[in-house]
Amino acid sequence: MIRKMILAAVIAVSLTAVAVPAAAQAYVRIAPPPPREEMVPGHRPGYVWAPGHWEWRHRHYYWVNGYWLRERHGYHYNPHTWVERNGQWYLERGHWQHGDRDHDGVPDRYDRAPNNPNRY
């Protein structure tokens, strides 16, 4: 009987301790501060720089520093962006998008030389 009670207590505690995934988004009524200036390191072959951005945590904005992401051939990285919708702000998470033939990080539709693999 005691084992069943302990097991039930452990299950109840584990269900209440479930964390909200990072992908869960919320609308914020306060506009984010302007992006901070950050020193972007020099070109690093095989990697793409993801610039720093503001995140909303515990009813405040917190700065997240930029970082390197391993390059994905044929894709370009769209960084985190705050978007206003109906007077509220929403963070669109950074993501990879298909369409970068020369792997320079510039989408083909914006690239003046989309087939030049020596550009960076």
Q: What is the mean pLDDT of the chain?
A: 80
Split into its structural domains, the chain has a count of 1
Between CA 115 and CA 69 the distance in angstroms is: 22
Closest CA to 88 of 22, 35, 25: 25
pLDDT value at position 117? 62
Residue 116 lies in a domain: no
Residue 54 lies in a domain: yes
Domain for residue 79, yes or no? yes
**Is 56 domain-assigned?**
yes
Q: Write the CA distances from 88 to 30, 37, 99, integer angstroms.
A: 7, 24, 31
Task: Select from 95, 92, 91, 41 the least CA-distant residue to 68.
Answer: 41
Residue 102 lies in a domain: yes
Q: 20 lies in a domain?
A: no
Q: pLDDT digits over 48-94, tens only?
A: 999 999 999 999 999 999 999 999 887 889 999 999 999 999 999 99
Rounded CA separation 120/118 (Å): 7
Domain of residue 81 covers 27-110
Does residue 103 lie within any of the structural domains?
yes
Residue type (1 letter), 80: H
